[in-house]
């Protein structure tokens, strides 16, 4: 049974909406990273901050007011018409919501906890529920009046990808006729300081797969799909997930878990590796991730598959990354020129790593049916791979 990605709403540091994001993504003339003070004491870090004005939370839902939900709302508004049409067609109980996240309302909670430390009491506006990992999904369901399955997924940097896998499963099991799925994460001090304490953040724009790579730039984004069984130009034809549990924060060096996720995705799509036309790499620009991923691709692909990491354009959007980068594949498949996201870096390959066929500005997909893979790898050895297909 095929499942289709019928509509996409997206907001990230590259822009708001499919057209703005696609223009910035494919041309790579500008990026969304800006050096910002105030997130890590004593340091100005490049961050992928969404500078657009975020919409207010709808009346009656003021108890759901967090930056995370506002960014999610911004992305959802782009496809609100398609979503409400699906609800009208299938009924509220047959539409589900699955949202991947890792930060939810933790930034607001941080301010409230600091206030309590000073005054001894919680501020009037503090709600523990804002921090719950299902809060973004619950907000969407409450706003849209959806009564189907509704939950959040938080598997660190695979959250957004696993939300799409979960939505596909709901459709294939017949539990839903449509699922709103994707990921949303916003900048917060807990995450930025945590990654900085792990010495995983770069003080300059990241350079994935270069020997000069020093770590990640953190970003924020929301990417949301409407997924159904109704035919559309882009299908989610396969997905795979694994958990190697090698280390709390480091990937297994030989990439065994990543290879398993990719091979499971290929098997689910009933294709071989030679059919893949492009891979969106996880590509965090950390020493260990890029080394592992290079080895994993060398084991999976015997041909030089075009590939790129887009994190030098958006930053690493954590729980939203898997959905955002699947969205970049979706944009390539619907683009009239069939452009591919370029790999933006210093152009210096790491001689210690297996070589990869990085894309450049202007590279395009071949004509006809194409298959694109998007990889996400997370803390704890959590791995996910998605395969999207489109074109005739």
Split at pLDDT 50, 70, 90, the class of 245 is confident
Q: Which of 31, 196, 316, 371 is catalytic?
A: 316
What is the Cα–Cα distance from 144 to 147, expressed in whole angstroms?
9
Per-residue pLDDT of 359-369, as tens digits, reads 999 999 999 99
The residue extents of the domains of the chain are 3-390
Per-residue pLDDT of 29-39, as tens digits, reads 889 999 988 88
Give the relative orientation of helices 159-172 and 321-334 as an angle to the nearest 10 degrees.
Answer: 70
Q: Is 316 known to be catalytic?
A: yes
Q: Shortest CA distance to 134 belongs to which of 94, 96, 83?
A: 96
What's the predicted TM-score (pTM) here?
0.97
Split at pLDDT 50, 70, 90, the class of 6 is very high
Per-residue pLDDT of 323-353, as tens digits, reads 999 999 999 999 999 999 999 999 999 999 9
Split at pLDDT 50, 70, 90, the class of 85 is very high
Q: Is 157 known to be catalytic?
A: yes
Q: Is 282 known to be catalytic?
A: yes
Q: Does residue 113 or residue 322 have the better pLDDT?
A: 322
Q: What's the full length of the chain, in residues?
A: 392
Q: Tell me which CATH homologous superfamily contains domain 3-390.
A: Thiolase/Chalcone synthase (3.40.47.10)
Percent of the chain with pLDDT over 90: 80
Could you list the beta-strand ranges (E) of 273-381: 276-280, 306-308, 357-358, 370-378
pLDDT of residue 126: 86
Q: Which of 112-126, 188-202, 243-257, 371-385 has the lowest mean pLDDT?
A: 243-257
What is the Cα–Cα distance from 135 to 66, expressed in whole angstroms?
10
Tokens matching residue 210: 């270069």
Output the CA torsion 308→313→316→321 (10° steps). -70
Split at pLDDT 50, 70, 90, the class of 130 is confident
Per-residue pLDDT of 151-188, as tens digits, reads 999 999 999 999 999 999 999 999 999 999 999 999 99
Q: Which of 196, 282, 343, 371 is catalytic?
A: 282
Q: Which of 12, 150, 157, 176 is catalytic?
A: 157
Q: Does residue 70 or residue 29 have the better pLDDT?
A: 70
Split at pLDDT 50, 70, 90, the class of 49 is very high
Mean pLDDT of the chain: 94
Percent of the chain with pLDDT over 70: 99
At residue 195, what are phi and psi to the nearest 5 degrees? -65, -35
Contact 86, 178 (CB under 8 A): yes
pLDDT of residue 248: 67
What is the Cα–Cα distance from 189 to 201, expressed in whole angstroms?
13
**Is the pLDDT assigned to residue 246 strictly greater than 80?**
no
What is the Cα–Cα distance from 276 to 389, expressed in whole angstroms?
9
At residue 164, what are phi and psi to the nearest 5 degrees? -70, -40
Segment 103-129 mean pLDDT: 88
């Amino acid at each position: 049974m095929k499942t289709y990605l019928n509509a996409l709403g997206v907001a990230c540091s590259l822009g708001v909406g499919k057209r703005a994001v696609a223009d910035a993504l494919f041309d790579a003339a500008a990026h969304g990273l800006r050096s910002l003070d105030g997130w890590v004491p004593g340091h100005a870090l490049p961050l992928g901050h969404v500078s657009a004005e975020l919409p207010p939370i709808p009346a009656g839902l003021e108890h759901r007011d967090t930056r995370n939900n506002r960014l999610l709302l911004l992305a959802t508004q782009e496809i609100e018409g398609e979503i409400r049409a699906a609800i009208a067609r299938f009924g509220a109980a047959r539409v589900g919501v699955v949202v991947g996240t890792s930060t939810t309302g933790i930034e607001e909670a941080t301010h409230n906890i600091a206030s309590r430390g000073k005054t001894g009491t919680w501020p009037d506006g503090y709600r523990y529920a804002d921090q719950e990992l299902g809060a973004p999904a619950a907000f969407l369901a409450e706003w849209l009046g959806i009564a189907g399955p509704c939950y959040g997924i938080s598997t660190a940097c695979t959250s957004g990808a696993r939300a799409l896998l979960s939505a596909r499963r709901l459709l294939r099991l017949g539990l839903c006729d449509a699922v709103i799925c994707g990921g949303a994460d916003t900048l917060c001090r807990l995450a930025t300081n945590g990654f900085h304490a792990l010495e995983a953040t770069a003080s300059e724009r990241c350079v994935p797969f270069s020997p000069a790579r020093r770590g990640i730039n953190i970003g924020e984004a929301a990417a949301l799909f409407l997924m159904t069984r109704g035919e559309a130009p882009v299908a989610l034809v396969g997905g795979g997930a694994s958990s190697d549990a090698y280390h709390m924060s480091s990937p297994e060096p030989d990439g065994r878990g990543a290879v398993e996720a990719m091979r499971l995705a290929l098997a689910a799509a009933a294709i071989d590796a030679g059919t893949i036309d492009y891979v969106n790499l996880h590509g965090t620009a950390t020493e260990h991730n890029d080394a592992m991923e290079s080895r994993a691709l060398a084991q999976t692909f015997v041909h030089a598959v075009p590939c790129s990491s887009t994190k030098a354009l958006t930053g690493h959007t954590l729980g939203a990354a898997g959905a955002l980068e699947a969205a970049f594949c979706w944009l390539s498949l619907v683009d009239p020129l069939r452009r591919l996201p370029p790999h933006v870096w210093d152009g210096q390959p790491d001689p210690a790593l297996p070589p990869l066929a990085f894309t450049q500005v202007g590279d395009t997909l071949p004509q006809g049916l194409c298959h694109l893979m998007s990889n996400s790898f997370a803390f704890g050895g959590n791995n996910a791979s998605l395969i999207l297909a489109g074109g005739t």
